[in-house]
Structure 1
Amino acid sequence: MTLHFSVIIPTYNVADYITATLDSLANQSLLPTEIIVVDDGSTDNTVELVRQHPLIERITIVEQENQGQGVARNHGVTLATGDYIYFLDSDDLLTDNFVAEIADAVAENNAPDLMFFSGREFQDAAYSGSAFNPTNYLRPYETAWRSQEAFFADLLKVPDLSCSPCLYVSKRSLWQGQKLSFNEFYHEDEELFYRLIFAAQSYYMTQDVYFLRRLRDGSTMSGKKQPKHALGLHALLQSLVAMAAANRDKPLRMRLIRRRIRRFAASYIFCCRLAKVPVDLRLVSRAARELRHIRGHLSIVRALLGLGTL
């Protein structure tokens, strides 16, 4: 089977890393159909290095003013022509068999809407942060699902599933038909994730490791928590509360959404305190009302706020 496969790479001041990232695509046993690099206002020579890369005949370069990673990804989606889309961060790597094995999985599993795979991290030589052990980068299943209900039921059996766009491949038709897009805030991948899995109808997951995440100083993942992180979590919590209101008649979805609300209400409050910004108590109260179906929800809410009562 011929797989028409689009790789979208948002870039911003990654001159030290972009060549290695593109090399990991050049080393694929089966090359992707196209690579779309959306540069988000770099002030270094990132774009020049992309133009000099041997893969340039397969690369489309787009330059935009700095608007954030989510907007850059959305721009890439509008340009993609492949049947499937993959988002690769500009400092990370892939194993050499990634594209070929995704193509095999598409052929062997009736072209699922979403395909999940595992990843692991490695430390950049200059990295000075703490060790990172993302256990949720390891996928819990090796199977396929042909219905939402079966997939959601199995998701509820595991504590977490990483939402990183670097750990899944999606049909381009999902993005077109459902008008999906990333928002412009931090944590845009978390905000999109449930909308994406609710839009899909078929799923495949493998425990094989294809994605190699670089730990480095200055990345969006390892940076200090700031007001913009709290703003992103605020947008995420708002989205989850709205999603709950829209899915009252779907029990499995509601269980997934409420579990997510419980997790990110705590993250939002904690981040606000670290960043020294006020907590939106009205939003937290709305989130708390969604938790009323969880046993011990009052103690959960009090623990979230650090208050005796809500």
Structure 2
Amino acid sequence: MSDGDITVVTPSYEQADYLGDNLQSVMNQSGMPVEHIVIDGGSTDETVEILESYEDQYNLKWISEPDNGQSEAINKGIEMATGEWIYWVNSDDYLLDGAISRFAEHITAHPSSDVIYGDFFFVDADGNEVGRKYNTNPSEFVHKHYYQFTGNHCTLIRQSVFEEVGMLNEDLDYTMDTEFFWRILRADLELVRINEFFGARRLHEGAKTTGEPSGERQAEIKGLRNSYPASPIETILPQKLLTAIAFSLQALYHVSNGRPNAVRHMNL
């Protein structure tokens, strides 16, 4: 492992239409050494040809073989990583220009940090901005009842964190990020929030979390919610009211953080 280096881990499957943008966005970063590991699940589109065309252009490592899904692919990439910091970015998403150099500044400014996170854009299939996700202070209540406290699109995680809280749960196909970030939230870690945008999450028809939740996804969400410890008041109040309270709490965080404009990007 190299102190100060970042490894971008990218799980991929049948995303040739968008993979080039992902690779290009990592290749164009500067500010500190970046290793890029792409774990492809044996795609049958042009994914392999695209990876081959980039492998000599920057520090890219990749494999393409059948796997058991996105969570296993991410875990494979983390296990292969040599960087001190991990940045998980899906193959249909990408880094914003200057993301790594800005992260490097915050790593220097917060040398004891375990997790550094910011915000991300939502973009459409063509890369046009269609929304923004502003993150706020870590809050178990908000995480449980409204929205996870951060997202993989804008978060650096120190390698040692995976040793402390464990890897992604490979039994989960849709909520592995929410469950993983919950474990981070509950651990004794130094979390640093940055008021900057670092990545873009692409919304398109082929994305598994775009559109109405499938039955399997709804079941995972319900199972995860039921696994959270609950205070007595949380067992009494209906879920819709708990969600409304969490929504209001996050709005207050935005205002107290001097970002009232972020409230209009929230959806209840």
Structure 1-normalised TM-score? 0.67
- CA distance in 2: counterparts of 1:232 and 1:64, whole angstroms: 26
Partner secondary structure for residue 17 of structure 1: helix
CA shift digits 1:178-201 (9 cap, x unpaired): 333233321111111110222342
Q: Does 1:164 align with 2:151?
A: yes
Match of 2:40 in 1: 39
Distance 1:112 1:302, change over 3 A: closer
Show the counterpart of 1:102: 103
Equivalent residue, structure 2, for 1:293: 233
Bigger radius of gyration? 1
Across the aligned residues of Structure 1 and Structure 2, the Cα RMSD in angstroms comes to: 3.2
Contact 1:29 1:96 in 2 (8 A): no
Partner of 2:25: 24
Matched with 2:218 is 230
Deviation at 1:112, TM superposition (A): 0.4
Q: Runs of 4+ in structure 1 displaced over 3 angstroms?
A: 54-57, 131-134, 151-156, 158-163, 301-304
Q: Compute the displacement of 1:40 (Å).
A: 1.7
**Does the 8 A contact of 1:25 with 1:31 survive in 2?**
no
Match of 1:195 among 183, 197, 201: 183
Q: 1:162: how far off?
A: 4.2
Secondary structure class of the residue paired with 1:9: strand
> Of the candidates 171, 178, 183, which is equivalent to residue 170 of structure 2?
183
AA at the equivalent of 2:42: G
Alpha-carbon distance in structure 1 between the residues aligned to 2:241 and 2:134:
30
Residue 230 (structure 1) shift = 2.5
Secondary structure of the residue aligned to 1:61 is strand
Q: How does 1:1-310 map to 2 (within 5 A)?
A: 3-30=4-31, 32-53=33-54, 57-125=58-126, 133-134=131-132, 137-140=133-136, 160-185=147-172, 186-240=174-228, 244=229, 290=230, 292-294=232-234, 298=236, 300=238
Alignment check: 8 A CA contact 2:168 2:177 kept: no
Aligned equivalents of 2:100, 2:127: Cα separation in 1: 30
**Residue type at the aligned position of 1:52:** S
Question: C-alpha separation between the residues in 1 aligned to 2:189 and 2:127?
Answer: 43
> Residue type of the partner of 1:63?
S
Q: Which consecutive residues of structure 1, in runs of 5 or more, have no partner in the other structure?
A: 142-150, 245-289, 305-310
Return the offset for 1:293: 2.4
Deviation at 1:107, TM superposition (A): 0.9
Deviation at 1:291, TM superposition (A): 5.2
Scaled by the length of structure 2, the TM-score of the pair is 0.77
Structure 1 vs Structure 2: percent identity of aligned residues? Answer: 23
In structure 2, the CA distance between the partners of 1:212 and 1:58, relative to structure 1 (3 Å rule), is same
Count of residues paired in the alignment? 239
Closer, same or farther in 2 for the Cα pair 1:303/1:3, shift >3 Å?
closer
Cα pair 1:17 1:91 within 8 Å, conserved: yes
Q: Does structure 2 retain, via aligned residues, the 8 Å contact 1:114–1:200?
A: no
What is the SS of the residue equivalent to 1:115? strand
1:212 partner amino acid: A
User: 1:126 deviation in Å?
Assistant: 10
Q: Which has the higher contact order (CA 8 A, sep 6+)?
A: 2
Q: Do the aligned partners of 1:95 and 1:212 also contact (CA within 8 Å) in 2?
A: yes
SS of residue paired to 2:153: helix
DSSP-derived class of the 1:196 partner = helix
Alignment partners' CA distance in 1, 2:147 and 2:239: 21
Aligned partner letter, 2:192: Y
The 1:190–1:39 alpha-carbon spacing in structure 2 relative to 1, beyond 3 Å, is same
